[in-house]
Structure 1
Amino acid sequence: NKRRCSGGIQGCSGSGGALNGSAAAGRFAAAGTAALGALMALLIAVTVAGNALVMLAFVADSSLRTQNNFFLLNLAISDFLVGAFCIPLYVPYVLTGRWIFGRSLCKLWLVVDYLLCTSSVFNIVLISYDRFLSVTRAVAYRAQQGNTRQAVLKMVLVWVLAFLLYGPAIISWEYISGQSIIPTGECYAEFFYNWYFLMTASTLEFFTPFISVMFFNLSIYLNIQKRTKMRLDVFHEVHNQSFTEEMERSPEAKISLKCCKWEQKDFRRAFVKLLCPKKLKIQPHDHFAPVKRKLKKKS
């Protein structure tokens, strides 16, 4: 009987430990869920507030309404809507693991979410292209800064292309295939497991914009580097010409002018800095004595 009682006591204590462990795990999961919810709420607040400030600044200050700033405004609108609509609906889905807003709102959320994310990518490409034109075609670009009509057309084109990439597929995929593969309580696109469509869409949404942005930024870098080199060459040429003219005005300096011709060669510039300082000072020397005597006679 004692053995049975001790076994029973051990069994009871073991089951109590399991219950305590599950309760602790539940409290830990609840704490993690609360922390994740707080972080997402903070993310929503920062996203909405930051992009709202950009839009308010654009509305309040008319000097900001230039062509390049319109594209930044377009990007701010996309990010603002992501923070105001997409993330708030996604938070309960992540925390509970179940979609609770119904099938119709699920499709609307998917269309808007894919639209906004794709438009953000296309807006980044448009901003990079705009920066590319401002550097490579600076004169024509500055002349078109007041023409906001083209900027608005490009903004509308971004939204249209972003919708056409995913919108029709999200709306009509189940009707074309004849059935829906999404179970109750879930919310994702019908083409989620169709690799052919995903590869095509990824090429248009990610790989092509990525290559385009790399090309535009690399072209900007090379163009700026080329201009910097040209400006330095012009600066050195003007400096050398003014220095030569200054030397030619001084009869005493004509004797030392030959050494300064070496500056036409890049690899001799180091020696020229030693042999021909900016302000040539002629030190008393026997070779210059005849020249000095002639100058005294003329005076």
Structure 2
Amino acid sequence: MCSFATHVRVCYPKGDGISSQEHMLDNSLLRTCVWVMGAIGCTGNLIVLLGRLFAPTNNVVHSLYLRNLALSDLLMGVYLFIIAAADQHYRGVYLRHQYTWRHSYTCSLCGFLSTLSCESSVLILSLVTWDRFVSVTQPLARKQPSPKAAALTLLVLWCLAAVVALAPLSHLAGGYFGDEFYGSNGVCLSLHIHEPYAMY
């Protein structure tokens, strides 16, 4: 807030590398990319989800993996749309509302969605990779997992990803993650690669 004091020559923190005093997404290219990637992510993954749900398939397990992967990636598209809408809402007046935004439930939801999407995508991709690897290296010795076993495995992976994403929001961690794990920057990601706090 020292930027409101015109006599202060050097203002800390200087920024988080994403937002400015006026805009939540300061860079116009970044702003455009968020809208475009959100639209592509939601549209593409919805097409995959609907296609895999209604199109007949011989490999039910593989289709189940792809549907879950599309769902996890769809969550990232939803996250991007929320961030793009918030940027549009706070355009030109971000500094006045940045504290309220970063400590809002919507920002926490954004952080949860982005982390859940990333973690679940990695876990599901690892499962698909392992499944393909075993199918190629041991094509005759391995029995294809049943749809029920595959669904149970995916449920465990989703629960694991949800626990990782919810942990920073939970008070059960005893303050380990701090008060601003997702709210340390305007896009509500746990990006602790800059120095957004004042140095003493």
TM tier, smaller: 0.5 to 0.7
Partner of 2:45: 51
Partner of 1:70: 64
- Maintained 8 Å contact 2:111/2:190: no
C-alpha distance in structure 1 between counterparts of 2:185 and 2:133, whole Å = 46
TM-score (norm 1): 0.44
Partner of 1:245: none
TM-score (norm 2): 0.63
- Maintained 8 Å contact 2:111/2:189: yes
Change (3 A) 1:158 1:177: closer
C-alpha distance in structure 2 between counterparts of 1:113 and 1:149, whole Å = 28
C-alpha distance in structure 1 between counterparts of 2:67 and 2:132, whole Å = 15
Q: Is 1:127 the counterpart of 2:128 in the alignment?
A: yes
Partner of 1:153: 152
Partner of 1:293: none
- Maintained 8 Å contact 1:170/1:190: no
Change (3 A) 1:150 1:114: same
Among residues 38, 43, 55, which one is paired with 1:61 in the alignment? 55
Amino acid at match of 2:144: Q
C-alpha distance in structure 2 between counterparts of 1:51 and 1:178, whole Å = 32
Report the CA distance between 1:169 and its aligned residue.
2.9
Report the CA distance between 1:87 and its aligned residue.
0.8
Identity fraction in percent: 22
C-alpha distance in structure 2 between counterparts of 1:185 and 1:116, whole Å = 19
Report Cα offsets for 1:7-38 as digits up to 9, x if no partner. xxxxxxxxxxxxxxxxxxxxxx9xx8555433
Partner of 2:166: 167
Partner of 1:111: 112
Gaps of 5+ in 1: 1-28, 194-299
Q: Is 1:89 the counterpart of 2:88 in the alignment?
A: no
Report the CA distance between 1:75 and its aligned residue.
0.9
C-alpha distance in structure 2 between counterparts of 1:63 and 1:110, whole Å = 35
Gaps of 5+ in 2: 1-22, 194-200
C-alpha distance in structure 1 between counterparts of 2:151 and 2:171, whole Å = 29
Change (3 A) 1:71 1:180: same
Runs ≥4 residues deviating over 6 A: 182-185
Change (3 A) 1:139 1:179: closer
- Maintained 8 Å contact 1:93/1:100: no
3-state SS of paired residue (1:139): coil
Report Cα offsets for 1:142-172 as digits up to 9, x if no partner. x426x21111111111111112234223322
Report the CA distance between 1:90 and its aligned residue.
2.3
- 1:220-239 equivalence runs, <5 A: none
- 1:135-150 equivalence runs, <5 A: 135-141=136-142, 143-144=143-144, 147-150=146-149
C-alpha distance in structure 1 between counterparts of 2:31 and 2:189, whole Å = 24
